[in-house]
Amino acid sequence: MKAVNYAIALITLITLTVGSSTVTLANDGGKKQHNTELRFIGNMENQPVFELNLTNTEDDEFTVTFRDESGNVLYTDKFKGANITKKFMLKTEEFGDTALNVSVKSKKNNTTEVYTINRSHTYVEETVVNKLK
């Protein structure tokens, strides 16, 4: 019986240790969290339109920058607020089929998330958005 009690106590101890470690990692040390999402929402006037959603728990300042493959800045702007939604229509004549990188930098958290936009032409135009960071 003693071996069974020790086994139950050991399993309980391991479960509590793993459970509390997971909680500690999940709350990220008390830092405020923010989420970004960039997605293709369709075409308008034969130009691709993207929607950027910035969701955070408190007011923050975000810098959004669109760059071509060579690193040339095509667009940059700053947005401030708690929950921000912006739409961007890209003029394809300016960058053609080259890939674009979109970086979203949070001033308060000092974090940057980078997306890449790749376009390919077949019989149907496909636009892909991938989150890099």
Strand partners, 44: 47
d(CA 127, CA 5): 59
- C-alpha dihedral over 2, 3, 9, 15, to 10 degrees? -170
Give the right CATH number for 32-131 from 3.50.50.60, 2.60.40.10, 1.10.10.10, 3.40.50.10190.
Answer: 2.60.40.10
Q: Residue 122 phi/psi, 5° resolution?
A: -135, -145
Tell which residue, 104, 24, 13, has the closest CA to residue 61: 104
In the chain, which stretches have pLDDT less than 50? 1-30
